[in-house]
Amino acid sequence: MKRAKKKPARKRAAPKKRKVAKRRSPSRRRGLMLVLSSPSGAGKTTLTRMLLEDEKDNVELSVSVTTRPKRASEIEGRHYHFIDRKKFDDMASRGELLEWAEVHGNGYGTPRAPVEKFLRGGKDVLFDIDWQGTRQLYDAAPKDVVRVFVLPPTADELRSRLARRAEDNREIIQQRLRNAIEELDHWGEYDYVIVNEDLDRSFRALKAILAAERMRRTSKRAPSGEIAVLSEKARRENQPNLGKLVRNLKSDLVSQN
């Protein structure tokens, strides 16, 4: 009797290697441009300094170039880059300035390259500029710009703050007060308005604005808690009495000049 031939054993297929998905590093948020504008003496420079100290790892100051003379208390490269008129005009004509304007007879502008570098790296950039520069920034990059206008509580307080600087002569102070009348006309172009009557309260509002705008860009959800309360309170459209305040400020400034 013939034995049946054994069928050759099937080779077991080697188990397929499972593809392990590579972990993606979380995408870095593009920085935002936080703009503070105000008439001279309303307090935006003080608020700028306080925010930079509080957010030193996350916020960079945009250092403008200017053709005006350096004040005794100012440091080259920290407060401004002080340049002559020819260099300023050359930078503007070559497109090296993100925005520029004539203010009080002097040129002011924002160098483009450092701002773009910070934004791509996920850092927020803080601007202490006037309404003309703000308008140019917003026209160029509306999704990146958050606009905050700082108002003084009274015209007398504005004059007092300018006088306390002790760095400008009487003629310059008067010129700044006259220019404030025009600058006040542009408060309605801003997303948020802070009436700087109390510095600590104003600073808390500014921090809440920045935190809320960051949250909207990262989690895509509305802010909550104290951040929501303070930031929403500072929104321009949520302050119905601002128009009356600005009219009174302008009237008082006109009568004082």
Q: What is the pLDDT of residue 73?
A: 85
Averages of pLDDT over each 10 residues, the chain, 257 residues: 51 49 56 95 92 95 93 88 96 93 88 93 93 91 95 91 73 85 94 96 97 88 88 96 95 84
CATH number of 33-62+124-256: 3.40.50.300
* pTM score: 0.80
Q: What is the pLDDT of residue 255?
A: 86
CA neighbours closer than 13 Å in the CB half-sphere of residue 145: 25
Task: Sketch the domain layout of the chain as residue ranges.
Answer: 33-62+124-256
Q: What is the pLDDT of residue 24?
A: 41
Q: Say if CB 150 and CB 36 are below 8 A apart.
A: yes
Hey, what long-range contacts does 65-68 have (CB within 8 A, 24 or more apart)? Answer: 65/91, 65/97, 65/107, 65/108, 65/109, 65/110, 65/111, 66/106, 66/107, 66/108, 66/109, 67/106, 67/107, 67/108, 68/104, 68/106, 68/108
